Amino acid sequence: MRRTAVVSRATKETEVSLRLNVDGTGESEISTGCGFLNHMLTLLARHGNFDMSVSCSGDVNVDYHHTTEDIGICLGQALREAMGDKRGITRYGSIALPMDEALVLCAADFSGRGGFYADLQIPTEKVGDFDTELCEEFFGALCREAGLTMHLRQLSGKNSHHIIEACFKAAGRSLRQAVAQDAANPTAVPSTKGTLS
């Protein structure tokens, strides 16, 4: 079964096209209009082992809020579609990921209930021209649309770039584990309820 998805979203604020293959090799082609966001999405794809292409045009003359949130929405929708009924997946993934002085814990669960819970203390308001609060906007949108529960906890860190980079890498690694196919239970939905919806 090919676990892929193609998602498009067009509003008065942005136009997003996204392709996802969760069983990829980490190759990506990212064009968002924001260099820092391009970098973070490239990291997420590489560490998630996802093949991903993202193209977004939007109102970046205002700021990167709509671009960041709408890409999160599209990636969440793509993950939901690619996972189908989640039969045979591991479901859970977690990691404590170091990025120099920063250490971030990420735990993910394809529970069917979208929830994002963060405890981040990013010291600056911006990295370059990217508003650092948008890190949480991205993951919140992704989790709502994917039906994914995710916790992100900053255990240490002083450099804003390092902290956010650790978040995206940790999310990629956790998602990689969660979407992995469970060889011991290849046809089972990993829930005593019999459904993850």
Residue 53: CATH number of its domain: 3.30.230.40
Question: Which candidate, 75, 81, 84, 76, places its Cα nearest to that of 53?
Answer: 75
Does the residue 123 lie in any domain? yes
Does the residue 165 lie in any domain? yes
Does the residue 103 lie in any domain? yes
Least confident interval from 15-19, 108-112, 151-155, 191-195: 191-195
- Measure Cα distances from 33 to 15, 63, 68, 162 in Å: 12, 10, 10, 21
Whether residue 12 is predicted with pLDDT greater than 90 in this model: the reply is yes
**Res. 197 pLDDT band, cuts 50 70 90:** confident
Q: Report pLDDT for 76.
A: 98
For residues 166 and 103, the answer to whether their CB atoms sit within 8 Å is yes
Domain that holds residue 98: 4-179
Q: Report pLDDT for 1.
A: 66
Please compute the mean of the pLDDT values over residues 107-124 and round it to a whole number. 96
Does the residue 133 lie in any domain? yes
CA dist 91 and 105 (Å) reads 17
Does the residue 77 lie in any domain? yes
- Give the number of residues written for the chain: 197
Q: Report pLDDT for 184.
A: 83
Question: Which candidate, 21, 22, 8, places its Cα nearest to that of 56?
Answer: 8
pLDDT (tens digit, 9 = 90+) per residue, 80-90?
A: 999 999 988 99
Q: What percent of the chain lies above the pLDDT cut of 70?
A: 98
Does the residue 197 lie in any domain? no
The strand pairing partners of 14, in sequence order, are 58
CA dist 72 and 75 (Å) reads 5
Total domains in the fold of the chain: 1
Does the residue 193 lie in any domain? no
pTM of the model: 0.95
Please compute the mean of the pLDDT values over residues 102-127 and round it to a whole number. 97
Whether residue 192 is predicted with pLDDT greater than 80 in this model: the reply is no
**Res. 175 pLDDT band, cuts 50 70 90:** very high
Please compute the mean of the pLDDT values over residues 118-125 and round it to a whole number. 98
The DSSP secondary structure of 178-189, one letter per residue, reads HHSB-TTSTT--
